[in-house]
Chains A and B, each alone.
Chain A
Amino acid sequence: MSPLPATATSAAAVRAVSVATQGMTKRFGGFTALDDVSIAVPAGGFHVLLGENGAGKSTLVKCMMGFYQPDAGTLVVDGTPVAVRNPRDARALGIGMVYQHFTLVPSLTGAENLVISRADAPAVINWGRERERLAAFMARMPFRVPLDRPVASLAAGEKQKLEILKLLYLDGRFLILDEPTSVLTPGEADEVLGLLRDMTRRGDLSVLMISHKFREVTAFADAVSVLRRGALVGGGRVADMTTDGMARLMIGDTPVREQAGRAPVAASRQTVLDLAGLVADDDAGRPAVDGVSLKVRAGEIVGIAGVSGNGQAALVEVLNGQRPLRDGRIFIHNEPFEPVRRDFDRFRVFGLPEEPLKNAAVPRMSVAENIAFRAFDKPPAAKFGWWMSPGPIRARAAALVERYKVKTASLDAPIATLSGGNVQRAILARELSGEVDVLVVANPCFGLDFASVAEIRAQIMEQRNRGAAVLLVSEDLDEILELADRVAVMSEGRIAYTAPVGDTDRTTIGRHMAGH
């Protein structure tokens, strides 16, 4: 790709550095994760790397940061080829990275985190002087974050800002951001990205951001590069591209299954799932779910939106029987429901929790055994309730693997050896193969490729159309807007807002996610 013209910057005060990769190639064994990729980010540029999971975005930035040594290709910083052997070399060149997970130390305060991250942190810290220097530094910065509190007590958005501040504090002049907005509300994301874009416009900073949100690309970036299966398939100035064009570049020619249509539903359908004042604590004993009341009718998908860490995970754990309720009751068809196996069967409650390998499967047991969890103790798999016959178990597993297109080496392979999408399909096959009255789904498409996402969403929609009451918890607002009939926003353990999906919009939902 040809170098892009630098955005309008005053040449006098440009601190930002330009970074380019030339013919970057990385192989893991016989697998080529990155194939001859050349991108160029000019000083003061805001560049986005687009691509599906496994497209090679992370591999590319890890080569730039020195986590991986590329098999071929060079990194060019400010026009000079450089060798980056480890992240420390990258840091010396002014290149810093903000990761998806936080790298701050939870029990240290913001100030302690900043000072200790410096390579030249003094042996004895003179806090009076450091505070003055930090105050002077913060005065130049666009974000405000409290520095005197332990990081553990900061909100996710503040932590993310502090991560970025840390890199700027370390004199980072080229920031790599790996999906930085996944933990932020839409409002916070716009604020952070807007301030970073202002810094790039002033020439203080260049930004390379990994993202899959087209909205952020069109709103903030100057230029974009699209990766697919390790190769650069296109890119250019954002102004010259359309969202459809970018999506086509990302997905390629993979046929995508048609989205199942939303069947019309009579408004008078009865309530199936009724959560009445649920309260539950997190592991540290603080209230995670704090008085959640919600009704889900038959043939309805209620989507729970919210920034991660606002109690959604705890709520799903309560419904799965993984977390005790401190207060409140669950009713299904007006009868009290306890999250135990007997009631799951009686009320036909099924679920797909997030991270199914951890929450819904026994990783070392075989695919067939995992698929049999719901039925292994009932005929035909078992006689008298305890005598198991492997034949029917395998036959049923084989049929479901076939029907749900689970790619596995054999039925006897441990389920942990399957890819994420295939684990998801195997668990879905187990949960959706019978009659479903209530379905509880959490982040079902997290980390999956486009084709699997469409398929899994279609399965969920199909259950709704067949009359199941579906509770969909997702951190992906687009997923909720696509699937749900009604949106509920969860913030600080409470339901902050509910509305039919037709009567609301992204801004309103975002405001409630932020707790306003």
Chain B
Amino acid sequence: MKKVRRRYLYFKLHRDGSQIEEKQLSLTLWKSLLSLYGEIKAADSKLYVIDYDETTGEGILQCTLPSLQQVIAAAVVIGEINGTAVSFEPKRTSGTIKGLNR
């Protein structure tokens, strides 16, 4: 089986209100991806929140290279999480986590 290349996205989740837990964020990302692109694309994305700081809202998520654009689009159209208004800002993408920190 051909290995699917991964991409890492460094993001910041701006919020106007209470802190957003990693689990809530992950669930909302999945729901948005599922709603916009359907079950097959959502499954193929292999979306995973690797790191997330609830205080600063900064984090890293992982997905497959072909689904990167779709994952970002799905994240950007999220307007609120559990009643808290949010704005998702994609900062940097890289093929490695190390590359994000450079």
A in complex with B: no
